[in-house]
Amino acid sequence: MSNIKAVIFDWAGTIIDYGCMAPTLVFIEVFKKYDVNISVKEARGPMGLAKKEHLKVLCEMPGIRKKWENQYGKLPDRQDVEDIYLELESMFVKIVVDYSDPIPGAVKLLENLKRKGIRSGSTTGYVQSIMDSVVPVAERKGLVPESIVCSSDVPGGRPKPWMCFMNAINLNVYPYEL
């Protein structure tokens, strides 16, 4: 482990919110507001993407497209995605606080890494306005990564590497000394 300079964690489902419940519930609830029922499996399908990208992928899923078309007489389009996303983001801010407790062992893991001189960074598909609700709850419980990079901080979220690169910059870590 002497070569490890930093570890980068994801937030929901990795260091908070065991089971990634907040994103799952929010996607189900926002579609329900549009009278389109989606399953837990559908909601979880694109997990890990930035939330707007997640929403776009959901709207492209054949089953959801069919339900939307049955409800509205047309397939979901770009404007529908924009409208849903506005509601989605505000819904996240309200719900995510209830799912911001650290996963058992996460606080101790970050403390152990720090003691060994290993820095901690983090990525999230949440945008900054959502993380503004998450971080204070997690910090009160002792979860404090040194770097937090949101999908809204970079040109693109996962699977693009930009959040990891930004963490490396924030933490000033590189695989070898120049």
Q: How far apart are CA 158 and CA 164, in angstroms?
A: 9
Q: Of 4, 22, 6, nearest to 124 (Cα)? A: 22
- Pair of tokens at residue 4: 């490890």
| pLDDT for residue 178 | 61
Residue 76 has pLDDT above 80, yes or no: yes
The pLDDT tens digits for 39-66 are: 999 999 888 788 899 999 999 999 999 9
State the DSSP H helix or E strand holding residue 120, giving kind and residue range, or none if neither: strand 119-124
| pLDDT for residue 107 | 97
- Note if 51 is an active site residue: yes
Catalytic one of 17, 51, 52, 67: 51
Catalytic one of 10, 80, 101, 153: 10
| pLDDT for residue 140 | 96
Residue 1 has pLDDT above 70, yes or no: no
Q: Where are the alpha helices (DSSP H) in 45-160?
A: 51-60, 62-72, 78-95, 106-115, 128-140
Residue 177 has pLDDT above 80, yes or no: no
Name the pTM for this structure.
0.84
The pLDDT tens digits for 114-159 are: 999 999 999 998 889 899 999 999 999 999 999 999 999 999 888 8
CATH of domain 6-19+100-171: 3.40.50.1000
CATH of domain 21-98: 1.10.150.240
- Note if 10 is an active site residue: yes
The pLDDT confidence band at residue 90, using thresholds 50, 70 and 90, is confident
Residue 21 has pLDDT above 80, yes or no: yes
Domain boundaries, the chain: 6-19+100-171, 21-98
| pLDDT for residue 89 | 85
